[in-house]
Every structure is written in structure tokens, then in C-alpha cells.
Structure 1
Amino acid sequence: MITYPNVHIAHFIDRPNRFIAQCRLQETGEMVTVHVKNTGRCKELFFPEVEVALSYQPSPKRKTDYDLIAVKKGTAWFNIDSQVPNALAAQAIQDGTIILPELKGNIVSVKREKRFAQSQFDLLVETDTGNKAFVEVKGMTLENHALGAFPDAPTLRGLKHVTELIEAMKEGYQSYVLFVVQFENVKVATIHTNMQPALAQMIVSGQKQGLSVIAYNCSITPDTIAIEHQVPFDVAKTFEDPNSER
């Protein structure tokens, strides 16, 4: 579990650009400019007056005193912090909450940000049998009717990572794509094929060659996020984008 400090509930007003938002604190009515911890579109979450969670972390080195970390969609909280999935994944793989299928041996180390070819993968997992596995972690915040999808915007970086995970397998590494679903109510995770058909095609190709693609959902409160359990991943599921008319 990861816990955020000094969390305050506010209402979202608008988002002038992808880095900042204007919010109104619920307790005092004060208008504040906040840093949005996700550069994705998130249009299906950011509606005027929706409740948001802000972590108050003032510093002379910062332009804003608050980080926007979560948004309430209906009755459920969605964490949108794009930096938290890597930390959660490393923690959960190490303690056995996340199981890497068909990993040979017992895990002895989980290292962050390791280079291979032209990519820097999120995690390198090593086992007591000398096996090594790369894990590329992707946060998932896009949802419609309990179907989670990635990405919410085209990602050439994500496509490159999948391509090079496949190359790593040819050199003896085990390779995994791990989707950390940053909300709880999800039945299936998939690729947003209409958004990026090439990514879906590369995922399918990788799976045929031994690439493991797995997804885990999270329990969310305004100030915490924790890995819950594995959910099915099915690249063939058709995702209807809730933003298609926005």
C-alpha cells in the first residue's frame, strides 16, 4: 500500500493544460492551482465540480503546493498518479501479492529502471535459479462499463517497449507487461485497439512468442492505493471509448 500525506478533498473546476488544474477546496472554498500527476487526457474523469483528492506538499522548489492524485467517478475513487504504479508493482512483486506466471525460480531481487537495447524497462526481476525477467508496468485509468483499457492516448513509447520486450525474450529474458488498474471495479482489462491498433497487434504477436500480459486492480481511497487481485486480460475485447463524443 502507498499512503499520500496531507490529503484534502476539493472540487475540480478546469484544466488549463495537461500539467495543472484549478480546484476549489471543500473545507474552505479557497481556489487553488494544483499539479496534475498524469499527463494523459483523463477526459472521462475531469468534469466540472467532480470531487478530487489533493495531497498538500508545499516546497520552495515547487510552483504549486498541491498534487491532484485521485478523482471520484460515480461512487468510486480512481487514482490518476502516473508515478505510483511502478512503486506499487515493485513492492507487490517482492512480497508475492503479484505473481509473475511461469517465472522460473524464487525471486531474490527486484531492481528499478534497467536498460535493454534502446529501452529502459521499469523492473528487472532476478531469481535464485539465475533467471532474469523484465517487467514493463503501465498504469490504467480508462474505464467504461467495468472494462479497463490502455492507452487513453496514442503511445509510441509503449509500442517501443512491447517491441523490445519481445526482443529481450530472444536473448533469454522472460518478459511481462503488467497493467496496474488504478481503480477497483474492473471485470476485464484490454487494449484500446481503436486508439492504437499497432499496439494491440504487437501485444498479440508478443503473446504468441511467450510475452506474458497480466493485470491487477487496486483498492483506492482518497489517500491510499493498494494492489488487490489479478483480473483477466483479453486483447480481443472491444472497448467503447466514453470520450468519443467529448
Structure 2
Amino acid sequence: MTYKNVHLAHFINRPNRFIAECRLQETGEMVTVHVKNTGRCKELFYPEVEVALSYQPSPKRKTDYDLIAVKKDTAWFNIDSQVPNALAAQGIEAGTIILPGLKGKIVSVKREKRFAQSQFDILVETDTGNQAFVEVKGMTLENHGIGAFPDAPTLRGLKHVTELIEAMKEGYQSYVLFVIQFEKVEVATIHTTMQQALAEMILSGQKQGLSVIAYNCSVTPDTIAIEHQIPFDVTKTFEDPNSER
């Protein structure tokens, strides 16, 4: 995915989860921008950290810029919460993302399909008549080469995993796909300290046949692309870099 009209800036502050104040590098102008991620992202947003803004002016918008990426040390982290679903669908269709154990050859990839009380991100259908739900979660939290989800408790995420397990009982295959929105990562896991119930539900699901997979991405200020599969280990210990912030 490529973003248009990208400008580099420095992050100043974040008055609320929807907007941030930034200073454009080119002109020094202070601008109010839309943050395309309502998560905390506290380990990324430090005063004066370099950020990437996509200029998308419109009479229907309150801000002219979207904050899409943040530079952490020497690496860029994409924080656009809308991009993982698009990357996942493209990757599954193109064969860049492999769904392990999928029965049959993929013949269709459909977005946003309802089951029970959930609307799952992707429904895959195969030439054997098999159907599989794929729930996609973006991952932006990292520490010491370990990627973790979530950075804040998510009742919605817990419900999705619970109903993916229920879907398996009705003959569907079920997958949780973590799209890691940065490149340098050795293993992905669940932030158990943040939400133990989610970690327990994931582990229970895996024992019943739920597939949990993770793929990292190459990221620049104006691009993001799926790279390769990263090991997922729900038992991996994650140290929260925000514990003292």
C-alpha cells in the first residue's frame, strides 16, 4: 500500500486519542492531524519524535492530515488501523499469506462476513466447499524484538476469538491473523499482563484447532507491505515498555 502526499513532521502532543499536534519539517508550521489509531501507542509517541503525515484535505474533514507512521529509533512503525485488513485480504488472495491447514484451494476472499454476534474481517471459500473465517488484528506494540497485542484491553477482540471457536464447532476453519505493522520482530505474542483473559482464550482456541499466525511488514513513511511469517507464541513473556509511563 502506498500513501499519497506524505510529509515528515515532529510529534508535539496528543490531546485525545483522535488527534495530535505536529510540526511540519518543511515549513515549521504547527498542524492538527487525525491519528489513524485509537490505541494508546504510548511507547511510540514521544515529544519531537519523527512522524509521517498524509495530506488529504477535504471540506468534509476537520483536519487536513492523517498521521500514518512513527519512527522508533531507526525503524518506521505504521499505525494506520485500517490498513491490516486490506493487506490481509490482498496477501491471502496473492498467496503471500498462507493459511496453514486450509482445506482446498482458495476460490474467493470476501470482506466483513457476519457470524453469530461478530462480523469477522474475512471469509475464505475453497474449491472443496470449505469455508474459513479470518479475524485480522494490527500489531504496533514492540519491546526487545517481541511484538505484542493488545496495547489496551479489548473486549471486542476477546469476543471475536470466542466466536471463532464457536464457528469451528459448526464446521468452519478459524484463523487469527496478526499483521505486525513494523519489520524488526522475532516473535509475536499476547500481552498477557494487559489482558490475561484474551491470552487464555487464544490458548484454549489453539488446543481446539484455532490457527494463530503473524506476518510482519516492511514500512517506510509512505508505504507498507507484507514481508514474511513470524512465529507466534502465546506463552512468550512480554515486558511492557509503557509500564513506567
The verdict on a shared fold, with TM-score over 0.5 as the criterion, is yes
1:153-192 matches, cutoff 5 A: 153-192=152-191
Q: What is the aligned partner in structure 1 of residue 223 from structure 2?
A: 224
Partner of 2:197: 198
Instruction: Find the aligned partners of 1:77 and 1:136 in 2 and give their Cα distance.
Output: 25
After superposition, the C-alpha distances for 1:212-233 in whole angstroms (9 at most, x for unaligned) are 0000000000000000000000
Query: 2:62: which partner in 1?
Result: 63
Residue 234 of structure 1 corresponds to which residue in structure 2? 233
Measured in 1, the distance between the counterparts of 2:162 and 2:129 equals: 24
1:42 maps onto 2:34 in alignment: no
**Secondary structure, counterpart of 1:3 in structure 2:** coil
The corresponding residue for 2:77 is: 78
1:14-163 mapped onto 2 (5 Å cutoff): 14-163=13-162
Aligned residues: 245
Amino acid at match of 1:30: E
Residue type at the aligned position of 1:133? A
One-letter identity of the residue aligned with 2:211: S
- Rounded to whole Å, the distance in 1 between the matches of 2:131 and 2:177 is 16
Deviation at 1:149, TM superposition (A): 0.1
1:142-174, CA deviations, whole angstroms, 9 ceiling, x for partnerless residues?
Answer: 000010000000000000000000000000000
**AA matched with 1:76:** A
Provide the rounded CA distance (Å) in 2 between the counterparts of 1:84 and 1:140.
11
Q: TM-score, normalised by structure 2?
A: 1.00
Tell me the residue number matched to 1:245. Answer: 244
C-alpha offsets along residues 166-190 of structure 1, whole Å, 9 cap, x if unaligned? 0000000000000000000000000
With normalisation by structure 1, the TM-score equals 0.99
In the TM superposition, residue 134 of structure 1 has moved relative to its aligned partner by 0.1
Q: Which amino acid aligns with 2:21?
A: Q
Secondary structure of the 1:71 match is strand
The offset of 1:68, in angstroms, is 0.1
In structure 2, C-alpha distance between the alignment counterparts of 1:10 and 1:120, rounded to whole Å: 36
Q: Deviations over 1:175-210 (max 9, x none)?
A: 000000000000000000000000000000000000
Report deviation, 1:241.
Answer: 0.1
Residues 37-76 of structure 1 show CA distances to partners (whole Å, capped at 9, x for unaligned) of 0000000000000000000000000000000000000000
Distance in 1, matches of 2:124 and 2:168, equals 14
Following superposition of structure 1 onto structure 2, how do residues 4-15 of structure 1 map, counting pairs within 5 Å?
4-15=3-14
Letter in 1 for 2:132: A
- Distance between the aligned counterparts of 2:163 and 2:13, measured in 1? 38
Structural RMSD (CA): 0.3
Task: Please give the alpha-carbon distance, in whole angstroms, between the structure 1 residues aligned to 2:107 and 2:30.
Answer: 48
Secondary structure of the corresponding residue to residue 161 of structure 2? helix
One-letter amino acid matched to 1:212: S
Shift in Å, 1:91: 0.2
Residue ranges of structure 1 left out of the alignment (5+ in a row): none
Distance 2:137 2:71 in 1: 21
Once residues 99 and 148 of structure 1 are traced to their aligned partners in structure 2, the CA distance between those partners, rounded to angstroms, is 20
Unmatched 5+ residue regions in structure 2?
A: none
Q: Distance in 1 between matches of 2:126 and 2:10?
A: 46
d(CA) in 1 for partners of 2:10, 2:219: 18
- How high is the sequence identity, in percent, across the aligned residues? 89
User: Counterpart in 1 of 2:214?
Assistant: 215
| Counterpart AA for 1:59 | S
